[in-house]
Amino acid sequence: MDLRHLLTLRTVVDKGSFSHAAEELGVSQPAVSFQIRSLEERMGQRLLDRSGRRVTLTDAGRVVDGYARRMLALEDDLVREMSQLSDHISGPLVLGSSTGPGELLLPRLLGGFKSENPDVEVSLVVQDTQTVCDRVLDDDLELGVVGAARPHRGLLFEPFVRDELVVICPPSHPLATRRRIGLAELASEPMILQQRGSGVRAVLEAAFRAAGIRMRDVDVTLELGLQQSVRVGVLDGLGITVISRLAVERDLAEKRLVALEVEGAVLARDFSLVRHAGRTPSRVSECFVAYARENLGDLVPPSDGPAVPAEPGDS
């Protein structure tokens, strides 16, 4: 149904004549007559009584007029809401994430985005990489932040954040006065490592292999499951470790821990945004991605950067 015909009907009723309606609408009187006739044919009923000096509604016309008022009001609401989109962001933002960024990065980004856009309903779902990808593919999640995943023609991956890994030790440790440490020396130090399969450990093991160092020659004193467990172990003086710089930013700023770079190796991992290839991004998700990139700054990796993708466990 053409909404213009409903507008013409409403205008004829308000003005009381075809000629006055034509003048109001800026069209010819025959055009008004044609639109009313088309509407009456569509409804199969006569809608206007033209016998008097003033055009009035028939019984059928009153029914159509009631719907016309509501439909035209809805159109006005739609136009008004669309015009406000450029100035106002609202609606749900449900983001899926693997453990690493879900623990260390996204709560801060989502909190800042929410404070700037209070009408956005923010929700973060933390699961393993493959589950996040599957839920994006099933349209259960619009957007995910994940580590390495097998390419899929239904998914789009784009670089999101580079996670730099550093060696940490307490300020009282003999290494604390150093800025760098070599891989061979690192392997000989008592180390606390995350469990096998974690993303941080996978990056470190790859660096050792590239340097010809076997893991059985590394002095591993403890294996702990989570980055925060490893961090606490270092704070308690149980050994040193390799960890995401994001996980210890506050400790470094408050001088509870000291960070060292590793010579001759790039210890970093990249996390990616994942979207459904066939889905048009919502305005809320686009605004969040723009906000995140602006606030991440140098942490956004180049598309062909040297870091390795995070492992599926990526904690």
In CATH, what number is assigned to the domain containing residue 225?
3.40.190.10
Co-location of 132 and 180 in the same domain: no
pLDDT at 88: 73
Asked, for residue 309, whether it belongs to a domain, the answer is no
Give 102's contacts (C-beta < 8 A, 6+ positions apart).
124, 126, 145
pLDDT tens for each residue of 197-232: 777 888 899 999 999 999 999 999 999 878 889 999
Co-location of 60 and 11 in the same domain: yes
CB 157 within 8 A of CB 150: no
pLDDT at 291: 93
The CA distance from 111 to 102, in Å, is 13
pLDDT at 306: 45
Give 100's contacts (C-beta < 8 A, 6+ positions apart).
147, 163, 199, 227, 244, 269, 271, 310, 314, 315
Low-confidence ranges of the chain (pLDDT < 70): 80-81, 83-87, 148-149, 298-315
* Chain centroid to CA 91: 13
Co-location of 29 and 119 in the same domain: no
pLDDT at 312: 46
Q: List the CATH number of the domain containing 71.
A: 1.10.10.10
Q: What is the chain's percent helix, strand, coil content, to nearest 5?
A: 45, 25, 30
pLDDT at 226: 80
Co-location of 116 and 179 in the same domain: no
**Residue that is written with structure tokens 């106002």 in the block:** 88
Co-location of 262 and 289 in the same domain: no
Structural domain boundaries, residue 279: 91-162+272-302
Co-location of 170 and 245 in the same domain: yes
Co-location of 176 and 251 in the same domain: yes
pLDDT at 80: 67
**How many structural domains are present in the chain?**
3
Per-residue tokens: 148: 């390495």
Burial class (CB in 10 A: 0-12, 13-18, 19+), 222: middle
